[in-house]
Amino acid sequence: MAALLLLFLFLFASSALSQDSLIGVNIGTEVTNMPSPTQVVALLKSQNINRVRLYDADRSMLLAFAHTGVQVIISVPNDQLLGISQSNATAANWVTRNVAAYYPATNITTIAVGSEVLTSLPNAASVLVSALKYIQAALITANLDRQIKVSTPHSSTIILDSFPPSQAFFNKTWDPVIVPLLKFLQSTGSPLLLNVYPYFDYVQSNGVIPLDYALFQPLQANKEAVDANTLLHYTNVFDAIVDAAYFAMSYLNFTNIPIVVTESGWPSKGGPSEHDATVENANTYNSNLIQHVINKTGTPKHPGTAVTTYIYELYNEDTRPGPISEKNWGLFYTNGTPVYTLRLAGAGAILANDTTNQTFCIAKEKVDKKMLQAALDWACGPGKVDCSALMQGESCYEPDDVVAHSTYAFNAYYQKMGKASGSCDFKGVATVTTTDPSRGTCVFPGSAKSNQTIGNNTTALAPSANSTTSGCIPKNSEKNNNNNSRFLFL
């Protein structure tokens, strides 16, 4: 897949965390109205996700992940490979700026050097291992080499003759790169990073691969694929590809390098010729994949050895080029509502993503404070919201700024209106979130912490971007309209 911002997850202590920490998620950035880093972290927290992969080393994202416990993979983009591969100083500077500046507050665990270089940027293949070695040397100098691993993600298409898995081997064209790369991974204790897409294998097989086999669906014993050399039975494409990589490494005498799947998923929507890119198939694949991984099923070659896997991806990327399916790999829309509800039994709290009844309305970040104040005036005036909790000395008075107060009032109106379409707009300064904005003793309407019953009062409509309605109640103090005031959304 093209460069994206992948986020792989699991977060904050929970009873399910020990078993769920093998699953992460990718987050692409080619999105209209991309949520802020704070909102991204809030969504991950709500889904108990504590692994994330970034396709770069974005400063705002790394700061947002500080002190969260989220395990972060950062990346050297492909367009920086050449410079880093030719200069120890360049690599050292990159590590200083993008790793040492944030670690350990931000839990950076891996540096992915490039992405699918052999297949997407073959002209840079000759410098790939040098780039990895220079980054590793910089980590050693910074005394971070024991905490942070260095590797590079590959498309599974570098493996030829992947079935039967026991006969698989790497494309020999790349032996001058693959062999020294595997030596590097073995010597540093780093994993082979692999992108595994049964969807593409299924589509490109022209009917040879059954859909159920690609989707982890149960197969009759006589329908399972059997490796004639090992007599191992394969019930899904994912395991066959992972084992093919293990066998391909063993063919080159590397037998102790673990595999981490850095991308895997299924699109929920496609064009006229993409018949199997459906919500049902995407739900089936990702639900079964997550269950497969967290149950520590392993693969037929390595049973019981779970393969850490990152789901592709967190959000739909509506601005990605290419076929319609390219825009529809996400688990969530950017407002935090799920594209579909995963069917997970016994998966603990991981990606329990039915957030349709857990939505709140909040003020957007970085919007005009005067527009927020006008919307707040309307909500507490003509909108008939009970804003008494915002009075001085009351539970939601602090923090005393227009963003925090607007968030409370917007959400109270949204809940009062039964979360009706258009009731969380306020001329474009509000947005829907799945994260409960309640804090301390300030419990928001609609929160599970509240015993309130919100009526479906439809006597007023929230001002939309096309509305000229305005209200007039006493404004917050001038201090609260200062552009330097900040609202921390938790």
Tokens, residue 95? 């590590």
Residue 217 has pLDDT above 70, yes or no: yes
296: left (phi over 0), alpha (psi -120 to 50) or beta: left
For residue 191, give the 3-state DSSP assignment: coil
Tokens, residue 334? 């950017």
Residue 42 has pLDDT above 60, yes or no: yes
Q: Are 115 and 155 in contact (CB under 8 A)?
A: no
- pLDDT tens digit sequence for 276-319: 999 999 999 998 999 899 888 899 999 999 899 999 999 999 89
Residue 345 pLDDT: 59
Residue 18 pLDDT: 35
Average the pLDDT over 99-125 and give the result.
94
Residue 458 pLDDT: 36
Beta-carbon neighbour count of residue 230 at 10 Å? 15
- Give the whole-angstrom CA distance, residue 333 versus residue 28: 12
- pTM to 2 decimal places: 0.71
Backbone angles phi, psi at 363, to 5 degrees: -75, 140
Average pLDDT along the chain? 83
Residue 351 has pLDDT above 90, yes or no: no
Residue 180 is given by DSSP the state H
- Give the whole-angstrom CA distance, residue 128 versus residue 476: 57
Beta-carbon neighbour count of residue 117 at 10 Å? 22
- Give the whole-angstrom CA distance, residue 305 versus residue 424: 46
- pLDDT tens digit sequence for 407-460: 999 999 988 887 776 788 898 888 877 677 888 889 898 876 654 333 333 334
Residue 486 has pLDDT above 60, yes or no: no
Average the pLDDT over 397-414 and give the result.
92
- Give the whole-angstrom CA distance, residue 318 versus residue 400: 37
Which residues are tagged catalytic?
A: 116, 263
- pLDDT tens digit sequence for 46-70: 788 889 999 899 999 999 999 999 9
Residue 10 has pLDDT above 70, yes or no: no
Residue 164 is given by DSSP the state S
Single out the residue of 476, 276, 479 nearest to residue 396, CA to CA. Answer: 476
Residue 357 has pLDDT above 70, yes or no: no
Pairwise pLDDT comparison (98 vs 3), residue with the higher score: 98
Beta-carbon neighbour count of residue 172 at 10 Å? 9
